[in-house]
Amino acid sequence: MKYADWLNTRGLEYRNDVLYFAGMNTLDIVEKYGTPIYVINEQMVRERYKKLKKFVNSEYKKNQIHFAVKANSTLSFLRVLNSEGASFDCTSQGEIFTCFKAGISSEKIIYTGNMFTEDDFEFAVKNDVLVNLDSLSQLKRLADIYEKLGKEKLTISFRINPEFGAGEHIHTITAGKDVKFGILEGQAIEAYRKAKEFGFENFGIHQHIGSGIINAYDYEKPTEKYLNIVKTIAKTLEIKFEFIDFGGGLGIPYQPKEKPLDLNVYSKIVIKPFLELLKSEDIGEPEFKIEPGRYLSAESSIILTQINTIKNNGYKLFAGVDAGFNTLLRPILYDSYHHIIPCNKKGKEKSLTYDVVGPICESGDILGKNRELPELNEKEFLAILDAGAYGFTMSSTYNSRPRTAEILIKDGHIHKIREAEAYDDLLKKQIIPDHLK
Ligand code: LLP
């Protein structure tokens, strides 16, 4: 793919050397709204969802795509996906609360927590949210809470750990014997047998093997094993599953030269074997579920940031910007690549190699290492791409830097959807005891 086309897949283009995002001039945006700032392209969110939904529909109609809220929990973002008909995957009470505030109803939510507390279960049961358990030991506790609250038991599901995982970084691989998630094959039958004993009557099953998977063949081994487990449980216990959930993990090409995930291969490895299982075994007509976070959200957002310092220390060139790992944690946490481009490249002929660094007082505050960029000057602006997944949600106030604003672009209009935090917000919840006053 040509570089300009790659930019275009993200709603980005240069017009007279000035960067436009979702049809808006990025220099106008920074002038009006300041930096650093998260900018979301609403149309891109809708397109990504529609494209995936259409694809899955063409393979098997009875499906639900649950957006993984941990990737992006901004209310307006969730409202966009909700209006497209998406379902949601939540990992905490806070995410469920956020979904409710975004107008999402409980039957669209699957609650895949881990290390659930009694309070988590009470919250889920009271709010009629389906729970996807992560440990055998949690089953009786959940059943007890259904009894205590006198509520009818909803579908119960377990997260299976198929022992083969995949992902961009060791910390984003979520299957394997020594990984904390899910239950292993050896306990799977017992889990569903016990669930029946505790009076659960409807069943789902789930796996999520990791995050940032760009090669769909990485799903092959885990899926084979998972579907075998599904088959064994269904046969042994005569269970007809309401749904079979294959989790998220679908990656995106963060680098211009990377090939995107091939949905046809994904189908060959994941959807087709699922369909074959339905044909060959009498396991009912389960819904096909997936839980993509990144695939639906990453490319929809950029961060605009201002260069405040160009430093040549005689050995290396640094472009110091006002976004840091407080704004975007992924580069330091997972060594992740986020493409960085100038908002204005007018009259710039020479290219130089920079480390793009933030203002956080740590040497690891590097947003992009050894980046070839047109010669940069102080006061100019850069765009950090693909920040819509695990960008804002993982941002922090480290170094007492308030979190940024967010804006949403829709049909040539800009909507502010989050105010930047103020210094007061940083201190809001602190209490000074009398003896220190
Ligand atoms: N379902 C479950 C149960 C998950 O744990 C996750 C992600 C997803 C779905 C969505 O995964 P996705 O489709 O976005 O890959 N902070 C890391 C990613 C950690 C994801 C954890 N679980 C990052 O910035 O890459």
Residue with tokens 């020594």: 178
By the 10 Å C-beta count (0-12 exposed, 13-18 middle, 19+ buried), 435 is classed as exposed
Question: Ligand 1: distance of its center to the CA of 311 in Å?
Answer: 36
Residue with the smallest CA separation from ligand 1 atom 23 is 390
Distances (CA, A) of 335 to 87, 150, 167, 263, 383: 31, 48, 13, 26, 19
Please tell me if the CB atom of residue 388 comes closer than 6 angstroms to any atom of ligand 1. no
> Which of the residues are catalytic?
361
Ligand 1 atom with the smallest distance to the CA of 248 is 13
- What is the reported pLDDT for 1? 86
Rounded distance from Cα 137 to ligand 1 centre (Å)? 24
Helices (H), 150-212: 185-197
Answer for the pair 271, 56: CB distance below 8 angstroms, yes or no: yes
**Ligand 1 pocket member 328 (CB < 6 A):** no
Contact 291 CB / ligand 1 (< 6 Å): yes
Q: How far is CA 216 from CA 38, 42, 213, 284, 367, in A?
A: 30, 27, 7, 27, 27
Choosing among 2.40.37.10, 2.40.10.10, 3.30.470.20, 3.40.50.300, the CATH entry for 3-41+299-427 is 2.40.37.10
Contacts with 93 (C-beta within 8 Å, 6 or more apart), sequence order = 119, 120, 123
CA–centroid distance, 222 to ligand 1, in Å, is 16
Determine if ligand 1 sits within 6 Å of the CB of residue 250: yes
Instruction: Please work out whether the CB of residue 165 comes within 6 Å of at least one atom of ligand 1.
Output: no
Q: How many CB atoms lie within 10 A of CB 117?
A: 12
Q: So what's the pLDDT on residue 168?
A: 85
Q: Is 89 in the pocket of ligand 1 (CB under 6 A)?
A: yes
Q: How far is the CA of 301 from the centre of ligand 1 (A)?
A: 17
pLDDT at 226: 97
d(CA 417, CA 133): 34
CB-based contacts of 278, cutoff 8 Å, min separation 6: 285, 286
What is the chain's pLDDT, residue by residue, as a tens digit (437 residues)? 899 999 999 999 999 999 999 999 999 999 999 999 999 999 999 999 999 999 999 999 999 999 999 999 999 999 999 999 999 999 999 999 999 999 999 999 999 999 999 999 999 999 999 999 999 999 999 999 999 999 999 999 999 998 888 888 888 888 888 888 899 989 999 999 999 999 999 999 999 999 999 999 999 999 999 999 999 999 999 999 999 999 999 999 999 999 999 999 999 999 999 999 999 988 889 999 999 999 999 999 999 999 999 999 999 999 999 999 999 999 999 999 999 999 999 999 899 999 999 999 999 999 999 999 999 999 999 999 999 999 999 999 999 999 999 999 999 999 999 999 999 999 999 999 999 99
Pick the CATH number of 112-292 from 3.40.50.720, 3.30.360.10, 3.40.50.620, 3.20.20.10: 3.20.20.10
Residue type, 73: S
Which helix (H) or strand (E) segment is 319 a member of? strand 317-321
Which residue from 211, 245, 250, 392 has its CB within 8 A of the most atoms of ligand 1, so it is best to mutate?
211
pLDDT at residue number 175: 84
Determine if ligand 1 sits within 6 Å of the CB of residue 161. Answer: no
Give the position, in ligand 1's atom list, of the atom nearest the Cα of 394: 16
- Ligand 1 atom closest to Cα of 292? 13
CA dihedral 139, 145, 146, 150 (to 10 degrees): 160
Listed in order, the ranges of the chain carrying CATH 3.20.20.10 are 112-292
Do the beta carbons of residue 102 and residue 78 sit within 8 Å?
A: yes
- pTM assigned to the model: 0.97
Choice from 92, 208, 226, 289 to test ligand 1 binding pocket (greatest atom count within 8 A of CB): 208
> What residues does CATH 2.40.37.10 cover in the chain?
3-41+299-427
H/E element, 59: helix 42-59
* pLDDT at residue 169 in the model: 86
Alpha carbon of 414 to ligand 1 centroid (Å): 29
Eight-state DSSP code of residue 435: G
The backbone torsions φ and ψ at residue 193, rounded to the nearest 5 degrees and listed phi first, read -60, -50
